[in-house]
Amino acid sequence: AQSVTQLDSQVPVFEEAPVELRCNYSSSVSVYLFWYVQYPNQGLQLLLKYLSGSTLVKGINGFEAEFNKSQTSFHLRKPSVHISDTAEYFCAAGNAGGTSYGKLTFGQGTILTVHP
Amino acid sequence: ETGVTQSPTHLIKTRGQQVTLRCSSQSGHNTVSWYQQALGQGPQFIFQYYREEENGRGNFPPRFSGLQFPNYSSELNVNALELDDSALYLCASSPPWGNTGELFFGEGSRLTVL
């Protein structure tokens, strides 16, 4: 069984400031990890993913995340946010390998609000 | 390339009724997954369809059922609707190549049960 915990339900930040959205996971098997973004009244859009290899992954819109196996974390970062980054962000985990792809466990979401 | 499309976008039902939600997968994608996203929550996996067969199910009762058609489109059916079924229902498709777990989501069908 897997679980994903997003440690902050809301993160307010000023424009051009850095931001970190925190995500911890637990799993008894190897996992793939994802960050998705959801704008109001829309579906989810993939920001980035970790499958294997380099623990620092870069995604769209200037976001990056670091996989830390020892701390079971996958925190999302952006060095300078824009107003347009205001949205809800979801961390998700899926079992690596087998036929489990497509069956993701999502966290509760973090609402990022960027203030001018 | 056409993305994942869902219909209807919004609907209102009363408790005890039945509902059918529809999803067209992205071109070339043969796997469809359905998720329920209650207000203020993350999406929860309902089930997945691959080659017209159910391929895994989350913790949802049997009154949640589905179908996948030869063109890979899919339906989610919910019988005996309850108030707690009010949610955004998301369909996601994934391609047959590789095993990346990446999902491509539609914009969802928002169901309100009164």
Of A44 and A100, the one with more pLDDT: A44
Q: Is the pLDDT of residue B114 over 70?
A: yes
- Tens of pLDDT along B12-54? 999 999 999 999 998 888 899 999 999 989 999 999 998 899 9
Per-residue CA distances from A62 to A55, A76, A80, B44 (Å): 17, 11, 8, 28
Over residues A61-80, mean pLDDT: 96
Confidence at residue A101, expressed as pLDDT on a 0 to 100 scale: 62
Chain B residue with the nearest C-alpha to that of A95: B101
CA distance B33 to A64: 26
Q: Is there a contact between B40 and A45 if contact means CB atoms under 8 Å apart?
A: no
CA distance B12 to B37: 16
Q: Which A residues 18-47 touch B at CB under 8 Å? A: 32, 34, 36, 41-46
Q: Encoding tokens for residue B15?
A: 């408790």
- Tens of pLDDT along A92-107? 998 876 556 678 999 9
